[in-house]
Structure 1
């Protein structure tokens, strides 16, 4: 047996046909002989809704770090997304964002970007790229109901068909990418592994979303966002408008307990007018609703610290929302999953099988850390949040980041430092480097904007739209 054969798993099983599951398969396929994806539902042929993904109704975007990770796993995928109508939004050049500290400037020099598209289209492009590889197969209408093996070695999964028939599916590697509904904690407890630590931090935020026919050309149109301010004496609320494929706007509104949006269509635009600035409501009054309003309440941050479990069983890896799920307000879920899949691929590429699962789990956790710090670091400051309250250190850090954010409204250097972290291309510790500390100390170099910043061409379009509506 050759060295290469000894260090190559024969068969891998991925639980879940989600984006995280597909990216896990992409990470695995060059390092194992075959990959089988277990999916409880049917997978659509095209860019259509996938059963079991209620969050698909809400706005999604890929941060720079996530888009680059997907292209590293599936070269050409981002170009395919753009060719299918997705938008590449330069940051902050094509973003009109009202932060708690004021309007961010649209700097002409773009340092990062977002990819905006419907979740269905992103799902489809990634799924299409993964499943065209003959080494990857899918077993649909099949549910994983438990692990095979022992507390020291997972050797496969027990699966159940839609008809209720159980069978054992053996594998050298099992990747749980089943999402928020993951049963891995319970299955590990069945093996006597009960030391798993976790956090559950919930701001109580509810999402309401719908699609609109855009009243303006979407190509080159900016992302619009109004962020929540946890310091205000009222329930936090926020919203965003993303240009997506099909000349549409994808719109989401968010509100904390005591001020949550509802599924009533007539109340959607009224709720938008309760945000800290009426920009979204002003735009939506000119747009044509294409769908009903979909509401979701499952927005808690939840993390399992699998990387701390000792000993960690060989043959098991947990990825994506199964390991850490984030408040979707911050837009890091898909990107963190993609970066976790790259970490898995890199560990597989070493060819060292003993301890692979443990090393991969630690590497995935490091990719989670930044997105987790960003989400929890914001959510703990809302008075409605349960699961954790801010410490003195948390409050001091929040005050510093707020000062840096205020500086960013008039300082390209501060804006770039913050965007490096938000784009998942730098860790939060980069914000306390001497150069950034000095930038925050100096403060904004330009005066604050007192209104949203639209380009001359955009303002002409808005004026024409207003005249059309008036007549």
Structure 2
């Protein structure tokens, strides 16, 4: 009778949000046990929780991220849509006023958006991942610090939020997925590592969000997006209306420094009307508000450059918003988290739990940040009083090229597809410079932009103005 003396392998994931759950789903294929440590008590359904205050605002999952999540946790897209999430083909299911005019709605779709409340998105993924064998969830548990030294992390110290009791969890691998509130920098300082280089770009954007009951009359209403105009001479103002589950519209208005919305309910519609087109204000004028206005100022782009440290401890990885946060206007945070989990799986498949694996995986996580970071920061630095490193010559050239492509995309499908492929994180931004795309971009638009929002007759009928223009 033989006895298996092979030691059991253990991974600890810090954070039970989307990034942490996706990482846990990957780890089940590479270690014997995965413990997810979450500070909050997690609800049994799609309910709010304290640790995700941004959940009250618009969340859209671009097709690139949706496909990545589907590959990690098969069945997620079907479960989301069955629970009420709305799938919007793009550009046919999108009414968008870009800085250079209204996009034409056309088929077939080039990419898509999944729209739902953040509570529903998190719950659908959490429910599936926690049902996997080998997953142990410790919610209501705070992380006090890392165990180990500058060469290797060996686990974490945790504290029960109710009893106050402390304990340690030994681990072959610790994954920090605690998001923008991560304490990874002081933790690394405590291990004796040098300070982590950090960069921020802050356009000063503030968000205000309210949920409405959708107007009756159109069952498949599009996403409506009035984008802010990124220019240095005046603040940007924008608004977005997104149909979500249970017959609701979630509407967010946003402005940069000098044009912040307020948290007063009476100001909300007026602010939407002050954007570059009043279509969203016209739509919500007759809609029943279901919530009061909620505000956030947490929109800064911030990136930590772990790859620049001279050494990196074995047994530690940092993913998701703990690595980089982006202005939510671009909708990239959840998609990048999915790609980070993909990097984790690919790296473990190639290197296993070897000491050098985590440094190599951390570098691949860094590469997964680059495109989303570039798209957000090259635009946000253009707003007045934006804080951050001024663009260099190469960045200014890229900005001018993207401005020209945006003009072409209002009517040229080739330019629009290239922009949507990049924006949805379905293709690398390098493809924006492909010869055919560059040629179309240099030619520019071949017709004047649309004067009015490209609404269908039934959609336009919801706007009360007699002329249908708002």
TM-score, normalised relative to structure 1: 0.95
CA distance 1:134–1:273, shift in 2 (3 Å):
same
Which residue does the alignment assign to 2:102?
Answer: 103
Aligned runs of 1:35-50 on 2, under 5 Å?
35-50=34-49
SS in 1 for 2:462: helix
Matches within 5 A, 1:22-421: 22-162=21-161, 163-216=163-216, 219-231=219-231, 233-354=233-354, 355-421=356-422
Stretch moving more, 122-131 or 233-242: 233-242
Further displaced range: 71-80 or 420-429: 420-429
Deviation at 1:458, TM superposition (A): 2.6
The 2-side partners of 1:216 and 1:105 are apart by 25
Is the Cα contact below 8 Å between 2:217 and 2:458 reproduced in 1? no
Bigger Cα displacement from structure 2, 365-374 vs 210-219:
210-219
8 Å CA contact 2:39–2:141 kept in 1: the answer is: yes
Shift in Å, 1:393: 2.7
In the aligned structure 1, how far is the partner of 2:429 from the partner of 2:334? 19
> In the comparison of the two structures, how many residue pairs are matched?
462
Question: Conserved in 2, the CA contact under 8 Å of 1:196 and 1:304?
Answer: yes
**Moved >3 Å (runs of 4+):** 216-219
Moved more, 427-436 or 148-157: 427-436
Deviations 1:70-93 (A, max 9, x none): 101100011100001111110111
Shift of 1:200: 1.4
- Does the 8 Å CA contact 1:180/1:325 hold for their aligned counterparts? yes
Unaligned runs of 5+ residues in structure 1 are: none
Query: Aligned partners of 1:412 and 1:422: how far apart in 2?
Result: 15
Asked if structure 1 preserves the Cα contact closer than 8 Å seen for 2:257 and 2:384, the reply is: no
Q: Does the CA contact (< 8 Å) of 2:147 and 2:154 recur in 1?
A: yes
8 A Cα contact 2:234 2:383, kept in partner? no
- 1:307-351 Cα deviation digits (max 9, x unpaired): 232321111010110011111111101111011111111111225
CA 1:217 to 1:367, structure 2 compared with 1: closer, same or farther past 3 Å?
farther
RMSD value, Cα: 1.8
Q: Report the CA distance between 1:445 and its aligned residue.
A: 2.9
Residue 386 of structure 1 deviates from its aligned partner by 0.9
Kept in 2: contact 1:9–1:173 (CA 8 A) = no
CA–CA distance in 2 between the matches of 1:448 and 1:204?
Answer: 30
Residues 300 and 466 of structure 1: CA distance in aligned 2, closer, same or farther (over 3 Å):
same
Displacement of 1:272: 0.4
- How far is 1:236 from its partner? 1.0
TM-score by length of 2: 0.95
Check whether the contact 2:66–2:77 (CA below 8 A) recurs between aligned residues. Answer: yes
1:92-134 C-alpha deviation (Å, 9 max, x unpaired): 1110000111111112221110000000100110010111113
Tell me the distance in 1 between the aligned counterparts of 2:462 and 2:263.
28
What is the distance in 2 between the residues matched to 1:192 and 1:447?
A: 60
Cα distance in 1 between the residues matched to 2:107 and 2:15: 41
Shift of 1:14: 0.6
Superimposed CA distance per residue, residues 423-447 of structure 1 (whole angstroms, 9 cap, x where no aligned partner): 1012222111211110111112333
1:451 aligns with 2:441: no
Does the CA-based 8 Å contact 1:236-1:259 persist in structure 2? yes
Aligned-partner SS, 1:125 = helix
Task: Identify which range, 158-167 or 107-116, moves more after superposition.
Answer: 158-167
- Name the CA distance, whole Å, in 1 between partners of 2:351 and 2:325: 29
Contact residue 411 and residue 446 of structure 1 kept, 8 A? no
Find the residue that maps to 1:80 and give its secondary structure: helix
**Alignment deviations for residues 13-72 of structure 1 (CA, whole Å, 9 cap, x no partner):** 011111111111111111111111111110000010022111001000101111001101
Query: Equivalents in 2 of 1:262, 1:60: separation in Å?
Result: 20
Q: 1:361-401 deviations in whole A, cap 9, x for unaligned?
A: 11111111111111111111112211222233322211110
Deviation at 1:217, TM superposition (A): 5.1
